[in-house]
Structure formats: structure tokens, C-alpha cells
A and B are shown apart, each in its own frame.
Chain A
Amino acid sequence: MLFKVFPGNELETLYDILAGHHLVGPQLRGTDLNGQELFAFDYIHSFTELRLDFTSTVHSLKSFILPPRETLSSFTLTNGDWEKHVDLGIYKPHVFFGLHPCDINGLNKLDKVLTGPVYPDPFYTGKRKNMFIIGVNCSPQPWCFCKSMGTDTVLSGFDMFLTDLGDRYFVEIQSAIAYDILTELPIVDPTEADHRRFVELMDERNSKFTCQVDNSDLTKILDLEFQSPVWQEWGKKCMSCGSCASVCPTCYCYGVKEFVDLDLTNATKQRQLYSCNLIDFAMVAGGHNFRPDSASRLKYRYYHKHRGFQEAYEEALCVGCGRCGQACLAGITVPDVIDSVRRQEVPK
């Protein structure tokens, strides 16, 4: 990896170079009841809208790569015949300016499933291939447990990664295009002092992680405690609303529905992101539900993310961003659930 440094006031130049493209970044959306700022990823139209000092966005980046609703194919219907049309719905490259390591790691995890060798998803792959990603280092929030999930740093999956050293930016470069763009800025090689400042900053950041979860032997524990009454207790709390999945950067499950126009000339096949916590997730025609109660659905969510995905890809399908815990109406958080399964007691 190549490291360079550029002056802090040149960030706007970098923005200007890329501003000709669709540019998505963190922007302020409002404040919650406690006055805490709420951020969202959205299209940025001027440099002042871009808030690289954001804490964490409420929603993940998912609406840009796995839209909540997406048309998979459309049909023209004529006299009993039909023709199928496929449009991936992406025509331009997108710049993503200001993704935290967890968001980039989330994309890397999604890639394993959605761009893999078996039936790669062209809708996702199309968007993924047209992403230019500028990562930015974050300041840990009280709900972040990415350190425990090993996703507090990111090694791949971005074009450049910025760390604010105060009056200058330390940049890790991962792609030729990124290098090419940066040559238009007054970049210099980092000095020994820059190295030390970077390491100091990382140490300082590491000391700020407060939320932790013990993942050791978790796959075995989840198997052993599959029938544990702890799940029933969490099931009682869970309202099966699916908020956790809608904010999760790595939840990708969906349902497919077809719609036909009233004049019966056109039809579309759409997919809608779903949540395994919703009641009919595993219900088959005829009414049999393989996971009829909220406890079994919540258990499945954890089992898939921390046991099944681990088995398939040797990592958990969780980046520890803590968004699900923030969004949960019942206040269920991943560290609490995993701790309680490990210790076999549910916190009151």
C-alpha cells in the first residue's frame, strides 16, 4: 500500500475533482431528542454538505447498493406471449466520499455472497464495479463493537483512505485511479513525524473503544445453546419489526414479488429487502411456518450472522457498527444477546 500526505485545505480540491460524478457522502439530517446529531449517506451537492467528522449514519450505505426496492426484470405482455427485459438500473459510476471502516468491511462481506462464483447478482455487482470509495477514519462511538468483530480497520475494498492528522491528511492509496487523481493535489511522502502522529492517533482511537463482545468459541456456544431458554426471553422482548435488518450494512435477504399493470400490457418483477425477523419470512404456501415465533426468528438472525456465515466464510456477517442496537425499539443489542447466551442469563 502506498502512503501519501496532503494539506488539510486541499480536501476541497479532491472534492472538486470528483464532483462531476454522482457523489455520495455523510451529511447532517437533524438532531434527535437529546440534541445528538443524526447523519445519513446521501447525494452531496456542495463541499459544505459533506461532514467527514460524522459520528455514524443511522442507516447503512445499503440503499445505494441494495435498494429497498429494485426491479429485477420487466415484461411486455402481448396476446398470451411475453418478453422479458433486464435493466440493471446503473448507468454511471458513483463516488462514495467518507465511508468508515465498518461500512467498507460490510461491502467486502456482502461481496462474498453476492459476487461469488455461484450465480453472482448482476444488480449488486453492477453497482459495486462502479463505486469509487474514499474511506475516512472514525472516532469510536459508545455503541461500536467493531474492534471485537475485527472490522475496526480495513485493508481492502477502497480506493483511498483518509486519516485526519490535524492540519494534513494521511492517505492510503489502493488503486491506480486514486493515485492518478491524487497527483493533482500537492501530495508528499509522509515524514517520520507523520508516521508517529498516525500511530499516536491510532493508539488514541483504540483506547476509545468502550463496547466489547467476547466472540471466542462463539460458533460452538451458539450450537450448544440452541435450545437455551435465553432465546425465549429475548423473543419476548423482540417485536419482530425488522428495524435491525433495515439498518444493518450486511443484511441482504429479500423477497420477490411480481406486479402487473391494470391494462395487462406490462408486468414487473421486483425484489424488496426483507428481514428474517418478520413473521412470514420462512412461511411456505399452505401455511406451515418454519419459524413461527419471534424467539426462533431472532435466534436464526444471530445463528446466520455469527455461526452459519462463520462456517461458510470464516468470518461473521457482522461488522460491529451497532446500528441495529441503536435502531431496535426494544433496545436489543448484539453484545447483550451474545453475552447472555454465553452466560445463560438475560439482563433485566
Chain B
Amino acid sequence: MNRLDFVDVLPTQQFSTRKSDLTSFEYSYKAEITSVYSLTETEKLYQIRIIDSDQRRQFTFKPGQFVMLELPGIGEGPFSISSSPTRHGDLELCIRAVGNLTKFLGRVPRGTLVGISGPFGTSFPVEDMENSDLLLIAGGLGVVPLRAPLFSVLENRSRYKQIDIIYGARNPSELLFTYQYQMWRQFDINLEIIVDQPDAAWQGPVGLITEILGERIEAAGNDLSTNTYAIVCGPPVMFHFVCDMLINAGLPMQRIFVSLERRMHCGRGKCCRCNIGATYTCLNGPVFDYWSVLNMKEAI
């Protein structure tokens, strides 16, 4: 005799995207890769459009958040959204072909259907940064998560004061989004690019990102203590050097924002792969202010 009743926790097949609903866990939007641009030898820019027009309009994210992109049968991975939040479900993801999934993505044609879930994580507080000077500092692939807040700022350019982008790459062939530099400069942005290993055609400065940053800080009279925000994205080794310089120039730690990279398998605070201590990079990050980073062991 059966005394216990079965409780079906997913009684309907109506899926929801609300964080608190059980159905959201495995929900993904079906999306199409509408175009692929090769930016460098290894990085490609994918334009991805959520197919359902209602879902596309309702898909909202904040600059700095990421999505999980899934290719059925191949794998799933976290990618920073690199497009403007005002474009909703017409996403741009810049992806370096380096692992299993990303190498496969490097070979897929236009029209491939992928699954997108998210958006996940914290974002850069671009509204709080209004009426201030902005320092956007990117090393290598770090320019990718930086592009979403940059778009937000460009769309509301008049609300911000001086904007500096300092972008460092290993060599000129690894520079990303070269076709947009002219456009950024037209928005009255000081774009400084530095490479470590120049080629014959390179005419800009050579060295590390800290050199340009040093000049910028000097130009500000070695005082960033008022009305300045910084966003720093790049390889882990960069954070210490760059953030220390900023702090020494008086920039408060809670006005420096970084985006951290970790391995992720779920994006929903379950798999623990992205943990720093018990802080989930997918829930409490990937955007942290620098104080939180220093306050966490082994964060950088």
C-alpha cells in the first residue's frame, strides 16, 4: 500500500527565467549566431540574437554581466557580454578559441543555434559613476568585459567627465576592436594603447600598461582621490600593479572595480567551481570592488 504521495516539483512544462523558480535552472534561450567576425588569429566576435522576439526584447542585462553559452553536445561556458545593454537580446560575445567549446565555436558557420542562459553575476555600477572621471584599464582580453560598460558610457557621454581608456596588449596583432578606436575617440575619449612586443609597423608606445597609467596619474597631479572611478580588467597578474598605483594616487578602493575570471560550470551558484573561499564568482561577482577583492583570500 502506498502511503506517500509523489510531489512533482516541475508539474508544468512552462519554463520561467525567474531566479527563484525551479524551472529556471535548466532554462536556456534559443539563439542564433547571426554573424562572426575574426578580430585576430584566435579571437572572434560573435553576434548572437535570441530568436523569439518577445524574449529578445525582455532580455535585459547590466554592463559586466555574463551569459552561459551552450552548444548542445559540445559544452557550455561563461562569456562576458560585450555589447551594449540597450541592445537587449542582440548580444555580442568576443571569444578566444582556447578550449574545447571555444575551438568548436571557432569553426561553426553563421546560423548555428546555441543556447543562452543568464544574464548572471554582478555589474559595473555605471550610474554611480556619473559626473566623474573614468579610467578604463584593460590588459589583453580584458577589453572584452570592459566594452559593455564602455558602450553604456558612450551612449550617455554627456553625463561623464574625462574618460581615459588605457589598453595594453602583448603585440599589435593581438589588439581587439581596432575598427572602433576611431569611433571611441570621436566621443572625446583619450584612448592610449601600448604594446609590449612591437612589430615593424607599430608607431605607438612600447612597454607595460603601468607606464601609461603613471603618466595619466601624473597629469592628474598624483591625486585621484576625488571624482574618479576606475574599471580594471585583465590577467590576474595585472591587478596588483595597476590597483596599487591607483590606490597610491589616492583613489579609494571602493571606486576601483575589477572583473575576475574563474572556471564555471553552472553560473548559478551551485557547482562551486568558481568559488573564492565560499564566495561564488558567478553570484557575488564577476565584478567586485577592489576592497572585496583584497578582503577575499586568494582572489588575485
Contact A122/B9 with A117-B20, A284-B263 known, Cβ cut-off 8 Å: yes
A33 interface residue, CB < 8 Å from B?
no
Given contacts A20-B1, A75-B72, A88-B10, contact A119 B268 (CB under 8 A): yes
Contact B9 A254 (CB under 8 A): no
A93 and B6 form a contact (CB under 8 A): yes
Per-position contact with A for B203-224: 1 when CB-CB < 8 Å, else 0? 0000000000000000000000
A80 engages B113 (CB within 8 Å): yes
B residues in contact with A256, CB < 8 Å? 75-76, 265-266, 271
Which of B22, B265, B278, B298 lies at the interface centre, i.e. has the most chain A CB atoms within 10 A of its CB?
A: B278
Q: How far is the CB of B245 from chain A (nearest CB, A)?
A: 23
Mask of B270-286 contacts with A, CB within 8 angstroms, 1/0: 11110101110001000
A130 within 8 A of B: yes
Select the stretch in B24-32, B84-92, B150-158, B186-194 that faces chain A.
B24-32
A286 to B133, CA, bound (A): 34
| Residues of the B chain whose Cβ atoms lie less than 8 Å from the Cβ of A304 | 272, 275, 277-278
Q: Which of A246-296 contact B (CB under 8 A)?
A: 252-260, 264, 267, 269, 271, 274, 276, 281-286, 288, 290-291, 296
Is B294's beta carbon under 8 Å from chain A?
no
A132 to B6, CA, bound (A): 11
User: Chain A interface secondary structure, helix, strand, loop or mixed?
Assistant: mixed
B47 within 8 A of A: no
- Check if A20 sits within 8 Å of B270, measured CB to CB: no
Q: Is the CB of B263 within 8 A of A283?
A: yes
CA distance A42 to B70 in the complex (A): 36
How many chain B residues touch A (CB < 8 A): the figure is 56
> A291 CA to B35 CA in the complex, in Å?
37
Judge whether A49 is part of the interface by a CB distance below 8 angstroms.
no
* Contact mask for chain A residues 181-220; partner B; CB cutoff 8 A; 1 contact, 0 none: 1000000000000000000000000000000000000000
- Interface residue from B20, B115, B271 paired with A253 (Cβ < 8 Å): B271
Establish whether residues B74 and A130, one from each chain, have CB atoms under 8 Å apart when the complex forms: no
Among A91, A95, A264, A284, find the residue whose CB has the most chain B CB atoms closer than 10 A: A284
Contacts of B111 in A (CB 8 A): 80
Does A236 belong to the interface (CB within 8 Å)? no
- CB-nearest residue of chain A relative to B109? A80
Indicate if the CB atoms of B10 and A276 lie closer than 8 Å. Answer: no
A83 to B101, CA, bound (A): 19
Check if B7 is an interface residue, CB within 8 A of chain A. yes
The answer to whether A252 and B2 have CB atoms under 8 Å apart is: no
Q: Please determine whether A21 and B4 come into contact, CB atoms closer than 8 angstroms.
A: yes
B269 within 8 A of A: yes
> Contacts A93-B4, A129-B7, A252-B270; is A308 near B24 (CB within 8 Å)?
no
The answer, yes or no, to whether A15 is at the interface (CB within 8 Å) is no
Q: Are B275 and A308 in contact (CB under 8 A)?
A: yes
Q: Is the interface on chain A under 10, 10 to 19, 20 to 34, or 35 or more residues?
A: 35 or more
Within B68-109, which residues are at the interface with A (CB < 8 Å)? 70-77, 96, 98-102
Our pick among A177, A180, A258, A282 for the contact of B76 (Cβ within 8 Å) is A258
By beta carbon, the residue of chain A nearest B263 is: A284
Q: Are B99 and A276 in contact (CB under 8 A)?
A: no
Contact check, B73 vs A258: say whether CB atoms are below 8 A apart: yes
Assess the A118–B277 pair: CB atoms within 8 A. Answer: no
Contact B270 A121 (CB under 8 A): yes
Q: Identify which of residues 29-43 in chain A touch chain B, using a CB-to-CB cut-off of 8 Å.
A: none
Residues in A whose Cβ lies below 8 Å from that of B28: 84
Question: Which residues of A sit under 8 angstroms from B77, Cβ to Cβ?
Answer: 285
Tell me whether A21 and B26 are in contact in the complex, defined as CB-CB below 8 angstroms, given that A283-B263, A304-B275 are known contacts. Answer: no
Residues of B within 8 A of A267 (CB): 72-73
- Contact check, B112 vs A80: say whether CB atoms are below 8 A apart: yes
A113 to B269, CA, bound (A): 8
A80-B111, A118-B283 known; A258-B74 Cβ under 8 A: yes
Inside 8 A of B273's CB, which chain A residues have their CB? 253, 255, 274, 281-282
- By beta carbon, the residue of chain B nearest A304 is B278
Q: A86-B26, A271-B271 are in contact. List 11 more A-B contacts (CB 8 A).
A: A21-B4, A75-B72, A82-B72, A84-B26, A121-B270, A122-B9, A256-B266, A260-B74, A286-B98, A290-B263, A311-B277
CB-CB nearest 8 A-B residue pairs: A308-B278, A285-B99, A267-B73, A260-B73, A253-B272, A119-B268, A122-B22, A75-B72
